[in-house]
């Protein structure tokens, strides 16, 4: 006969941990723990096959299932010397659903099944706590009524409320045992009224009805929709877990507690936890009674303590990791209710991983899989001293991690000025490229608008600087230099603290500390990661300071230097604007030549400044590659805003004043109008600029090669990689490359030295990925710009779509924000396609990624799978990327060996 029911108890289970198909996730876990020798409350699992059989049998339990369940129940009763509904030793059980995949909409837990009018009294007597007994009974009736009999929760809540009102109570905790007796009577009436039948007093009937209810819940509409959306087959079915209830409040030989096998904050190897005697689990965490350190259990119940230490130590070895466990002692007998991998801080995670290797429990490779790359963040940024009280006054988005403390300023200029004496926090409604110089000197940034990929967020992450963005409750009045949060008014110069890791905004001057990333464990751990990973890790850095940070964090080069950031500095912007004023179209050849000459003149002023920028970068990265992207953003970003000009002009005109300023404004507006675009993201930018105005590329190439040549003369090894952005067609790249190569030869000839360099391209348009084979005929490297590639693939502007993304993630249309986590199905597919087709033309094509995704672990795994050579990310994310790259390599090795095993078999 087919086996439908799997018993577990007394350190032995019929099933085991890998049988999720048969036992569901929860049932497999219970079997695993039991087999691991844990004293888990015994019980049995009714297999998913029984669910299928139930449906095939017209929604009735087949005889074979019922009889096997009865047998298992008898075995359970024998083991515990308790019986369902027994008047001496009544058995109480929980009933839970448990499918292969966890699924919303499935049946909730039913606790305390087996309670009835008789059992509740025995229970009251045994616990010496009638209130608890009657509360447990009424909870059981309510859960049973709602889940099994399909009566709405409201109807039960109504009765409870009525009782509280009658007694003028406001809290459930004020109700006595007698109150609950009245509530129970009310509940029973509801059930009779709605179902036409009495609440079943026979625990066997209760159990059968609960099992059937679990099976039925497989087909409730929410579960069906969820399966359809997530492609879970409809014919899997769910299992049912029936497990003995245990109670820690059955007198002074009972108790309950929680613990960790090691300290989850520091990672130190010491038994850690707390407990309460004669208490339930909720009492430990509720804070009414103060729990006792677990070491004291040694005094109270030495045998139980020894058993617990022995079990948890075994657990740590069995699961090869720190365990977070819950236990209950019922009348002197220890039960393990739960054990799971313990959550820990980043610092602890690294220490534990390294220690476990040293203890011989895991290998270095296993250790690498034990630390979430994101956790390393905590080891890289200053953190708030949480031991001191913090006055949190608002919460925004944790846009860029770390803590910052400083005096509030409201403009970039003030940041520069005031930042000379004290650290400053720059507070803006939102930041714009103009604010860069202020952001550079600020300790942290707070904005009231914008999301996780707003300008402030992206730039600060790049700088490794703390940022709290989109803090909706902050009203920023930059004109009056006042920040209002609720009734609190913060003026310029007031102290403010930010926690960019949680988004907290704290009034006053909090204390911070900087963890030491050079500590032994961290260094050991990162060395293992570097040995394992195959992906290179570079950093996105525009200035020498960032480049040096990146190098210290282990970056192996610069994957993206955005030259436009260099254009915004106040000594440069006038030249940039002069150049833009000459970016005019004309069909007249002479006029065109005049404009080009004017552009060249303006660019000539920028040349020495850019050369200096690049020299600094090459010097900082001596011996490592530096990828420099030619000018990318639309030109109007360097000019005043169109609508602001229009308003200024309208205001002056309405006032009827003639002023020379009006003429200037109108002239500027005419230029801005000429450059105005409805969709600048899809407009005149990237290599299109260099193709329309080749002088720009020429000047930048000249600055790069002159700087590189100067380096070489001074013994610095510059390795420039010139990157052309927004290419969609090989001919675009060919034309730009021609300029770069020509300028390089001119410079080398003039300077009398040659420098090795590469010319490559961003792949950031679907068009580029789709014609990668052609493009690689010209490109010596590819760098996937996955920010723009995501924007164009999805037709989704990241500046505009915050609301849409939030809504889509909430509605589960997308698993995550595609700008935070690389979409593997579409964008990732283009990355793979572009890489493999590019290498058809050029087998040794170097391929990297330089979007924000380059620092995201899940995205790094996609990059590894696509066979990329490197990822490039913010300097402060370099260690995270190194670890993620190592994990991706390990994961892939595992998959490959699984495939090989499959092929061999």
User: Three-state SS across 245-279?
Assistant: CCCCCCCCCCEEEEEECCCCCCCCCCCEEEEEECC
Cβ distance to its own copies smaller for residue 767 or 821: 767
* Strands lying side by side in the sheet with 466-469: 391-395, 504-507, 495-499, 403-409, 424-428, 444-447, 466-469, 397-400
Give the shortest CB-652-to-its own copies separation in angstroms: 8
761 near its own copies, judged by CB under 8 A: no
Tell me if 762 sits within 8 A of 723, measured CB to CB. yes
735 binds its own copies (CB under 8 A): yes
> Which range of residues in 280-288, 572-580, 801-809, 876-884 is near its own copies by CB under 8 A?
801-809
787 binds its own copies (CB under 8 A): no
Number of residues that bind its own copies (CB under 8 A): 65
437: buried, middle or exposed (CB in 10 Å: 19+, 13-18, 0-12)?
middle
Candidate ranges 295-303, 526-534, 649-657, 751-759; the one touching its own copies (CB under 8 A): 649-657
728 interacts with its own copies by CB under 8 A: yes
- For residue 838, give the nearest of 768, 789, 733, 787 by alpha carbon: 768
Would you say how long the chain is, in residues? 905
Q: What is the sign of the dihedral through the CA atoms of 501, 502, 506 and 511?
A: negative
Task: Tell me the closest approach of the beta carbon of residue 461 to its own copies, in angstroms.
Answer: 20
Strand partners, 781: 846
* Rounded least distance, CB 731 to its own copies, Å: 4
Using CB under 8 A, pick the residue from 224, 482, 716, 734 that binds its own copies: 734
692 near its own copies, judged by CB under 8 A: yes
Residues 605-644 as x/- pattern, contact with its own copies by CB under 8 A: -------------------------------------xx-
229 near its own copies, judged by CB under 8 A: yes
Q: Say how far apart CA 649 and CA 655 lie, in whole Å.
A: 10
What gap in Å lies between CA 409 and CA 411, rounded to an integer?
6
Contact flag: residue 16 with its own copies (CB under 8 A)? no
Q: Residue from 592, 813, 893, 898 that binds its own copies (CB under 8 A)?
A: 813
| 3-state DSSP helix/strand/coil % of the chain, to nearest 5 | 50, 15, 35
Considering only 3, 597, 812, 894, the residue that binds its own copies (CB under 8 A) is 812
CA distance 528 to 369: 11
Q: Is 387 in the site for its own copies (CB under 8 A)?
A: no
Q: Can you tell me the distance from the alpha carbon of 20 to that of 36, in angstroms, rounded to the nearest whole number? A: 17
Asked if residues 95 and 210 have their Cβ atoms less than 8 Å apart, the reply is yes
Tell me which of 507, 681, 816, 821 binds its own copies, using CB under 8 A: 681
Positions in 453-482 near its own copies (CB under 8 A): none
Q: Does 545 bind its own copies (CB under 8 A)?
A: no
- Binding-site member from 268, 677, 895, 899 for its own copies (CB under 8 A): 677
* Nearer Cβ to its own copies (127/791): 791
- Told to check if 824 binds its own copies by CB under 8 A, we report no
Out of 788, 817, 852, 856, the only residue in the binding site for its own copies (CB under 8 A) is 788
Q: How far apart are alpha carbons 121 and 110 in whole angstroms?
A: 20
User: Least separation, in Å, of the C-beta of 749 and its own copies?
Assistant: 19
- Return the number of the residue (64 or 429) whose C-beta is nearest its own copies: 429
Mention every residue, 6+ apart, whose C-beta is less than 8 A from residue 277: 252, 254, 255, 300, 329
Out of 1, 654, 843, 905, the only residue in the binding site for its own copies (CB under 8 A) is 654
Tell me which DSSP letter residue 146 carries: I
Strands of the 482-485 sheet, one edge to the other = 474-477, 482-485, 488-491
Interaction of residue 809 with its own copies, rule CB under 8 A: no
The stretch among 257-265, 309-317, 324-332, 824-832 that binds its own copies (CB under 8 A) is 824-832
Helix residue spans in 847-877 (DSSP H):
857-865
Contact between 680 and its own copies per CB under 8 A: yes
Among 188, 314, 688, 751, binds its own copies (CB under 8 A): 688
Contact residue for its own copies among 360, 421, 795, 843 (CB under 8 A): 795
Q: Quick check: is 381 catalytic?
A: no
Question: Would you give the binding string for its own copies spanning residues 767-786, x where CB under 8 A is met?
Answer: x--xx--x------------
- Residue 808 found at the interface with its own copies (CB under 8 A): yes
Q: Which is nearer to its own copies, 51 or 724 (CB)?
A: 724
Helix, strand, or coil (residue 540):
strand
- The CA–CA distances, whole Å, from 113 to 141, 354, 731 equal 9, 46, 74
Separation between Cα atoms, residue 190 and residue 198, nearest integer Å? 9
Q: How far is the CB of 682 from its own copies (least distance, A)?
A: 4
Phi-psi label, residue 726: left if phi above 0, alpha if psi -120 to 50, beta otherwise: left
Q: Which is nearer to its own copies, 208 or 648 (CB)?
A: 648
821 lines the binding site for its own copies (CB under 8 A): no
The set of long-range contacts for 598-604, using a CB threshold of 8 Å and a minimum separation of 24, is: 599/693, 599/695, 599/696, 600/695, 600/699, 602/575, 602/576, 602/578, 603/575, 603/579, 603/695, 603/696, 603/698, 603/699, 604/699
Asked if residue 269 binds its own copies (CB under 8 A), the reply is no
Stretch that binds its own copies, among 242-250, 534-542, 551-559, 795-803 (CB under 8 A): 795-803
For residue 658, state whether it binds its own copies (rule: CB under 8 A). Answer: no
Smallest gap from residue 901 Cβ to its own copies (A): 29
The answer to the question of residue 670 lying near its own copies (CB under 8 A) is no
Q: Which is nearer to its own copies, 247 or 782 (CB)?
A: 782
Number of Cβ atoms within 10 Å of the Cβ of 319 = 18
Calpha distance 571→420 (Å, rounded): 20
Could you please report the per-residue DSSP string of 636-696? GGGS--HHHHHHHHHHHHHTT---HHHHHHHHHHHHHHHH--S-GGGSS-THHHHHH-HHH
Q: Rounded to the nearest whole angstrom, what is the least distance from the CB of residue 586 to its own copies in the complex?
A: 11
Annotation marks residue 455 as catalytic: yes
Q: Are the C-beta atoms of 95 and 109 separated by less than 8 Å?
A: yes
Annotated active-site residue in 51, 687, 801, 850: 850
Residue of the chain from 492, 814, 821, 841 that contacts its own copies (CB under 8 A): 814
| Shortest Cβ 861–its own copies spacing (Å) | 19
How do beta strands 625-629 and 557-562 pair? parallel
* Binding span for its own copies by CB under 8 A among 6-14, 477-485, 811-819, 883-891: 811-819
431 binds its own copies (CB under 8 A): no
**Chosen residue from 132, 553, 638, 794 binding its own copies by CB under 8 A:** 794
- By C-beta, is 290 or 679 nearer to its own copies? 679
Which tokens belong to 172? 């459930």
Q: Based on the shown chain and the rule CB under 8 A, indicate whether residue 679 belongs to the binding site for its own copies.
A: yes
323 binds its own copies (CB under 8 A): no
Please state, in angstroms and rounded to a whole number, the distance separating the CA atoms of residues 85 and 91. 7
x/- track of binding to its own copies for residues 551-590 (CB under 8 A): ----------------------------------x-----
Q: Which of residues 827-886 bind its own copies (CB under 8 A)?
A: 827, 829-830
Q: At what angle do helices 878-904 and 520-532 cross, to 10 degrees?
A: 40
- The answer to whether 277 and 257 are in contact (CB under 8 A) is no
Catalytic residues: 455, 850
Query: Which parts of this chain interact with its own copies (CB under 8 A)?
Result: 228-229, 585, 642-643, 646-648, 650-655, 677-684, 686, 688, 691-692, 726, 728-729, 731-732, 734-735, 764-767, 770-771, 774, 788, 791-797, 799-801, 803-804, 807-808, 811-814, 823, 825-827, 829-830
């Amino acid at each position: 006969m087919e086996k439908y029911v799997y018993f577990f108890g007394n350190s032995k289970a019929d099933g085991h941990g890998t049988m999720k198909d048969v036992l569901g996730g929860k049932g497999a876990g219970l079997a695993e723990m039991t087999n691991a020798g844990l004293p888990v409350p015994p019980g049995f699992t009714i297999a998913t096959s029984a669910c299928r059989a139930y449906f095939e049998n017209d929604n009735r339990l087949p005889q074979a299932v019922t009889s096997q369940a009865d047998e298992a129940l008898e075995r359970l009763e024998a083991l515990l010397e308790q019986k369902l509904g027994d008047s001496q030793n009544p058995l109480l059980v929980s009933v839970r659903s448990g499918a292969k995949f966890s699924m919303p909409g499935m049946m909730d837990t039913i606790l305390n099944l087996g309670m009835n009018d008789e059992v509740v009294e025995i229970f009251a007597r045994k616990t010496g706590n009638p209130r608890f007994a009657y509360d447990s009974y009424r909870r059981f009736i309510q859960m049973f009524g709602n889940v099994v009999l399909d009566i709405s929760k409201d109807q039960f809540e109504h009765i409870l409320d009525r009782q509280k009102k009658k007694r003028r109570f406001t809290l459930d905790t004020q109700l006595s045992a007698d109150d609950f007796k009245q509530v129970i009577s009310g509940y029973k009436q509801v059930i009779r009224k709605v179902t036409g039948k009495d609440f079943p007093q026979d625990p066997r009937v209760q159990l059968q009805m609960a099992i059937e209810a679990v099976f039925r819940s497989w087909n409730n509409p929410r579960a069906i929709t969820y399966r359809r959306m997530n492609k879970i087959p409809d014919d899997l079915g769910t299992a049912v877990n029936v497990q003995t209830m245990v109670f820690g409040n059955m007198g002074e030989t009972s108790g309950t507690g929680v613990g960790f096998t090691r300290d989850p904050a520091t990672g130190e190897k010491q038994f850690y936890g707390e407990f309460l005697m004669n208490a339930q689990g909720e009492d430990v965490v509720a804070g009414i009674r103060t729990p006792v350190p677990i070491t004291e259990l040694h005094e109270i119940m030495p045998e139980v303590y020894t058993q617990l230490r022995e079990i948890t130590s075994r657990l740590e070895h069995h699961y090869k990791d720190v365990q977070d466990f819950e236990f209950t002692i019922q009348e002197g007998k220890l039960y393990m209710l739960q054990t799971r991998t313990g959550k820990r801080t980043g610092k602890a995670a690294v220490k534990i991983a390294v220690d476990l290797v040293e203890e011989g429990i895991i290998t270095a490779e296993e250790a690498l899989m034990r630390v979430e790359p994101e956790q390393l963040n905590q080891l890289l940024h200053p953190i708030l001293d949480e031991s001191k009280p913090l006055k949190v006054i608002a919460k925004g988005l944790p846009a860029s991690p770390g803590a910052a403390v400083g005096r509030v300023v409201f403009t970039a200029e003030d940041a520069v000025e005031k930042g000379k004496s004290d650290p400053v926090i720059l507070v803006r409604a939102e930041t714009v490229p103009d604010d860069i110089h202020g952001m550079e000197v600020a300790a942290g940034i707070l904005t009231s608008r914008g999301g996780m990929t707003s300008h402030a967020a992206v730039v600060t992450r790049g700088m490794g600087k703390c940022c709290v963005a989109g803090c909706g409750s902050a009203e920023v009045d930059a004109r009056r230099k006042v920040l209002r949060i609720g009734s609190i008014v913060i003026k310029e110069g007031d102290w403010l603290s930010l926690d960019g890791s949680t988004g907290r905004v704290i009034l006053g001057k909090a204390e911070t500390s900087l963890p030491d990333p050079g500590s032994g464990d961290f260094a050991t751990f990162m060395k293992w990661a570097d040995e394992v990973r195959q992906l290179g890790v570079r950093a996105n850095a525009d200035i020498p300071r960032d480049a040096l940070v990146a190098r210290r964090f282990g970056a192996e080069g610069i994957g993206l230097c955005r030259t436009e950031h260099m254009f915004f500095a106040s000594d440069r912007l006038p030249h940039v604007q002069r150049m833009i004023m000459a970016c005019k179209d004309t069909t007249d050849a002479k006029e065109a030549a005049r404009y080009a000459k004017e552009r060249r003149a303006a660019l000539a002023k920028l040349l020495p400044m850019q050369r200096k920028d690049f020299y600094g970068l090459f010097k900082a990265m001596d011996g490592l590659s530096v990828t420099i992207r030619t000018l990318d953003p639309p030109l109007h970003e360097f000019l005043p805003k169109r609508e602001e000009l229009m308003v200024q002009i309208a205001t002056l005109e309405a006032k009827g004043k003639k002023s020379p300023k009006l003429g200037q404004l109108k002239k500027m507006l005419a230029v801005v109008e000429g450059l105005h675009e409805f969709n600048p993201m899809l407009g005149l930018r990237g290599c299109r600029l260099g193709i329309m105005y080749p002088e720009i590329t020429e000047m930048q190439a000249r600055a790069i090669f002159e700087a590189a040549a100067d380096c070489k003369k001074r013994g610095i090894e510059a390795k420039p990689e010139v990157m052309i952005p927004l290419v969609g067609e090989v001919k675009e790249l060919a034309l730009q490359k021609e300029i770069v190569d020509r300028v390089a030869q001119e410079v080398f000839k003039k300077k009398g030295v040659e420098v090795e360099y590469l010319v490559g391209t961003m792949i950031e348009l679907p068009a580029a990925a789709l014609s990668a084979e052609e493009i690689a005929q010209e490109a010596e490297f590819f760098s996937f710009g996955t920010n723009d590639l995501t924007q164009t693939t999805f037709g989704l502007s990241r500046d505009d779509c915050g609301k849409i993304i939030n809504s889509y993630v909430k509605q589960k249309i997308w698993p995550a924000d595609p700008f935070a986590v690389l979409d593997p199905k579409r964008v990732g597919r283009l990355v793979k396609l572009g890489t493999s087709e590019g290498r058809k033309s050029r087998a040794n094509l170097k391929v990297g990624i330089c979007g924000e995704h380059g620092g995201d672990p899940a995205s790094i795994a996609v990059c590894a799978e696509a066979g990329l050579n490197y990822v490039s990310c913010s300097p402060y994310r370099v260690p995270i990327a190194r670890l993620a790259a190592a994990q991706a390599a390990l994961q892939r090795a595992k998959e490959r060996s699984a495939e090989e095993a499959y092929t061999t078999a």
